[in-house]
Chain A
Amino acid sequence: MSFPSWTLLSQSVLSGVFAGALYGLLGLGLGLSWGLLRTINLAHFAFAFLSAYICYQLAAVSHVDPLLTLAGIVPLMFALGAGLHWLTDRFRLTPFSSLLLTFGCMGIVESLMQTLWTADPRKLESHYAEMKFRLGPLYLPIPEVLTLLLAVAITVAVWAVLRFTDLGKALRASAEDAPVAAAFGINQRRNGFLLAGTCSAIAGIAGVCIALSSSISPSQMYAWVGVVFAAVMLGGLGSALGPLLAGIVIGVSEAVTMAVTSPSWAPLVSFTLLILILLLRPGRIR
């Protein structure tokens, strides 16, 4: 086995950072929902892909700029997320029950997407796909750069809200000890809807990023579940910064594995990291 060239290695690291940004963006909402609302929301992936399809439909058929589709997608996903939270809240589901419920929702949304767009792969051809920066011998495609910028901006914003605002403190307090938080007058019901809606809205943004940078088909969403779960667990449940950092670690590890050894070894990286976390730091998953 010959050692890869410097350019190949650098380009692969970049590719890993971009992939990791998407893992982080998808993982952010999932981790917050799991950590702060105790809802393991598998429908998060379905919402992301539904958003990708809506973006595809509006951009490819109605010729709307893909980034402008966010204006409709974000509120729609917020409403869907809040609606789903109403269900989990109404029936007081445990985390495991929420996993089953949202898995069912995932199947329903998949069937809906198959009915509307068929199981055939779709590719959004936008002017963004043609644009890229060059950094010496390295290439930085605009859709991936946008994904990275959005992931960083949203992650930092969510972190700031959780860290510095009353709302963030209230959310963390409710997750820590709900009865005591309620005794202090925190409106957990309203905050829960707000957080669930925001998590799904972030999934919507991730969906638009997926549509911009990749081909989409309804069943593809399942391919993201394992690696995003790994990013969430590695990053810490309820953590804002963790999923992005963990996503980038996983993405870069996978990409470098592909560059140095066989690409078929890459999936082992994320799952090995996941197993190590479960073994060495079981406290991260409650």
Chain B
Amino acid sequence: MTTRTTFQRRTVLAAAAASAALPLAAWAQQPPIRIGSTLALTGPLSATAQVHKLVGEIYVEDLNKRGGLLGRKVEWILKDDQSKADLARTLYEQLITSDKVDLLMGPYATGGILSAMGVAQRYNKVLVHHTLGVPSLAKYDMQFPAWSLGSDPGVTTTNTVFEALAKGPKPPKTVAVVTSKFPSIHFMSMGARETLKKRGLQEVLFLEWEFGNRDFGPIASRVKDAKPDFVWVGAIGLDGNLLLDAMKKIDYAPPQHFYLYPAPGPLVTLPEASGALSVTIFEEHPPFTSRPKAAEFIKTYHERAAKANFPDTSVEVQAAASFTAWQILEGAVNATKSLDDKVLADWLKKNRVETIQGSLRFDGPSNYGDDLMRIKQVQNGKWVVVYPPEFAAPGAKMTAR
């Protein structure tokens, strides 16, 4: 009896050990799932692309710690597109035909994404992308955006901005719209013009400049001369800093001011940017941080970004969109237990994915869902969300001069 019991115990222990080792054996025997993408690791877009690289590394490491995808290790094949959209096209072609990746992840930024989208379409591959600035250009039915700005942000996002102002401490009556002619900026500024007219506000100034404009002095002088209650600045990158510098030189500070897609780190450090408004999908405070995975991601990102000497270590739009893109891909693969692009695309179009941005859907025009853009403001040297109230940082309210 005793012998039999011992035998049974040994058998059970051996079986348990074998079954525990099975996934490890499978992990070791099966080839990894290869996810291919390019990023602008060098060239003028490299600073922001480094954010996407770091987020991808953090995500894939964590994913593999959790057992990978479908019990297989995940390998990220990343190539440098040198900030060139034409090179991105060539490299995506290589990723599919030569590297034979299982899945694709999008590049950064709009030009590169559109190039990659063309290649993905040719090979019927799903393309999840981070920050495409012009939704109307996304014509391929198996592309999925991770930046939840809705299919028509020229109407919806601009409406959110003016709604926030109308409910703010000093609803404006007159507006100056000054904007870069950079494509993803310009259509939003034109949308702002339409929205302000619909809301009965008066446009006292409209100015456009070419991307790369050097001298913002005359633009600042014209804004000052127009005396608007609110200045909409169709800014990308440094434009906002340069305009604020020029305004400071003539002792002018706009009563209320908005910057569309500024370089967030450099703008927030300017003393004259106090009270500046912008849009966001994620900031480092509740309720964003209380979403699953968010707090853990922020902690890891801070550590790794500081180690990599990033000038700004906070998680905001770019990092959040990048993390979301990986969540979308993981969500679809896990739900369908498949790597078939058609199966993944069909599932994504019919289901929501829970991400750190919120619950995303892809069943609208161009596979865009809801516009989840919120209004943030520079307060005490930090960006905080101020509108809508349910997404505002604890205790934060919009301020005006």
CB–CB A263/B42 < 8 A: no
CB-CB under 8 A from A254, the residues of chain B are 215
Closest chain B residue to A19, Cβ basis: B215
B43 within 8 A of A: yes
Closest chain B residue to A9, Cβ basis: B221
A118 within 8 A of B: yes
CB–CB A4/B215 < 8 A: no
A217 within 8 A of B: yes
Partner of A259, one of B47, B210, B218, B266: B218
Give the interface size bracket for B toward A: 35 or more
CB–CB B212/A266 < 8 A: no
- Interchain nearest-CB distance for A163 vs B (Å): 32
CB contacts under 8 Å to B, within A65-120, are 111, 114, 118-120
Tell me the complex Cα distance, A123–B181, Å.
Answer: 23
Give the interface size bracket for A toward B: 35 or more
- Interchain nearest-CB distance for B49 vs A (Å): 9
Partner of B213, one of A7, A121, A144, A263: A263
CB–CB B217/A120 < 8 A: no
CB–CB A258/B218 < 8 A: yes
Tell me the complex Cα distance, A84–B299, Å.
Answer: 47
- Interchain nearest-CB distance for B160 vs A (Å): 27
B395 within 8 A of A: no
CB–CB A120/B270 < 8 A: no
B174 within 8 A of A: no
CB–CB A121/B42 < 8 A: no
CB–CB A215/B266 < 8 A: yes
CB-CB under 8 A from B245, the residues of chain A are 123, 129, 214-215
Tell me the complex Cα distance, A224–B212, Å.
Answer: 10
Tell me the complex Cα distance, A214–B245, Å.
Answer: 8
CB contacts under 8 Å to A, within B233-283, are 237-238, 241-242, 245, 248-251, 263, 265-266, 269-270
A residues near B (Cβ < 8 Å) are 4-5, 7-8, 11-12, 14-16, 18-19, 111, 114, 118-123, 129, 132, 139, 141, 144, 214-215, 217-220, 223-224, 227, 251, 254-256, 258-259, 262-264, 266-267
A-B CB contact pairs (8 Å), 15 listed: A114-B42, A119-B43, A120-B265, A123-B266, A132-B249, A215-B266, A224-B214, A256-B218, A258-B219, A259-B221, A262-B208, A262-B209, A263-B207, A263-B208, A264-B181
Identify 19 new A-B residue pairs, CB closer than 8 A, beyond the known A118-B47, A141-B249, A262-B207: A4-B222, A4-B225, A7-B221, A8-B225, A11-B250, A12-B218, A12-B221, A18-B217, A19-B214, A114-B46, A120-B266, A120-B311, A121-B238, A123-B266, A132-B249, A217-B238, A227-B214, A263-B219, A266-B213
